[in-house]
Amino acid sequence: MFSSSSSSSSKGVALVTGSAQGIGRGIALKLADDGFDVALNDIAPQKAKLEQVVAEITAKGRRSISVTADVSNEDEVKAMVDTVAKELGGLDVMVANAGIARYHSLLDTTVEAWDRIHAINLRGVFLCYKHAAAQMLAQGRGGRIVGASSMAGKKGAALSSAYAASKFGVRGLTQSAALELGKAGITVNAYAPGPVEGPLLDEGIRTMNETIAKAGGSTDLKEALLGMTAVGALGTPADIAALVSFLASKEARFITGQTISVDGGINFD
């Protein structure tokens, strides 16, 4: 695996979606440190931030490009994968990290909100799995596919029906894809983060607090999350990146179909 990438000094080519900031950025930088050439993706308004991460990766001596695309759009995802394969010489690791967090009570969740959350968090992961798998199968050298679930994909929570459903969906998708692709040397796994410092957590806390306030309640959600962890601390992007680093390695060849919690001990399997 990874032996046929275009750069002899490279472990292969990785693509990380939603990598302009937060967990995605952390994963991209870690994979570059591991020796991968790394393609970065996010939506067009994040282009400037993507280029900053490209500069960080090239400063490490690795090749990097940015490809803007909306992961919920199949044509754009296919074009993204094709561009990465053409520019960097293939695709060995796909990290379908892009996601959004929105929180509403069940009764206040509109069909539009439901569809938007699922379009990014579930359809986007599906499309990345699908087109990465097609590229990897065509190459014939195996590969690693990794997707973003959540602690809300292990146990549902109030005010999170749409979000939790999308993240539970990633688990089922990951298991099914693992069964289909394993004999081709392609493993498929997911990570299930708990509260991780960064823009997604900040946005999640903001929208959750608004929902709680609308219902007449009040709470310090960040403190509540801290209290849920066994370790008494919030995670960092580096904590998630460390797991993805292992799942992307040759040593992880016998691990597939798993959704692994990285949540400080909130959920136990």
* Catalytic residue from among 11, 30, 154, 167: 167
* Catalytic residue from among 103, 129, 154, 163: 163
- Of the candidates 84, 157, 87, 169, the one whose C-alpha atom is nearest the C-alpha of residue 120 is 169
Angle of helix 237-247 versus helix 22-34 axis, rounded to 10: 50
Using the structure block, give the residue that is written with the tokens 């090239």: 58
Catalytic residue check, 129: no
Q: Tell me how crowded residue 215 is: count the other CB atoms within 10 A of its CB.
A: 11
Q: Tell me how crowded residue 74 is: count the other CB atoms within 10 A of its CB.
A: 15
Strands (E), the chain: 12-16, 36-42, 64-68, 93-96, 143-148, 186-193, 259-262
Catalytic residue check, 167: yes
**Dist CA 122 CA 114 (whole Å):** 11
Tell me, what DSSP letter sits at residue 141?
Answer: S
Q: Tell me how crowded residue 225 is: count the other CB atoms within 10 A of its CB.
A: 20
Which residues are part of the catalytic machinery? 163, 167
